[in-house]
Copies of this chain bind each other. A is one copy, B any other.
Amino acid sequence: MAQIIVDVMPKPEILDPQGKAVTGALARLGYHDMSVRQGKRFEIEVPGEVTEEHLAEVRLAAEQLLANTVIESFDVRVQH
C-alpha cells in the first residue's frame, strides 16, 4: 500500500495562533528558544503503486479541500 503525504502549513506572513500558544506553553515548561509553527499532516493511502495520476489528484484535492490556499501552503510527496 503506497502512501502520499500532504503537509499543510500556515504561510510565513500569516499569524499562527496555535503555534504561538505552543511556543508559549513550551517556554513555561522550560523549553526556551524554540519557535513553533503548527500545521496539519495528511497520510493518504491509495491502492497499488503511486502514479503521476494519483499525485495530480492529490494535489487537486489538497487545493480544493485539505488546504485553505489563502492562508496555507501545502506540499505533496510520496512516502516510501
Interface residues of A, Cβ cutoff 8 Å to B: 7-9, 19, 22, 25-26, 29, 31, 33-47, 57-58, 60-61, 64-66
Contact = CB atoms under 8 A, between A and B. Distances in A.
Contacts of A43: 9, 36-39
Given A22-B65, A64-B29, A41 B40 contact: yes
Nearest to A5: B7
Contacts of A41: 7-9, 38-41
A65 B29 contact: yes
**5 closest A-B pairs (Cβ-Cβ)?**
A41-B41, A35-B45, A39-B41, A37-B43, A31-B61
A60 B34 CA distance: 13
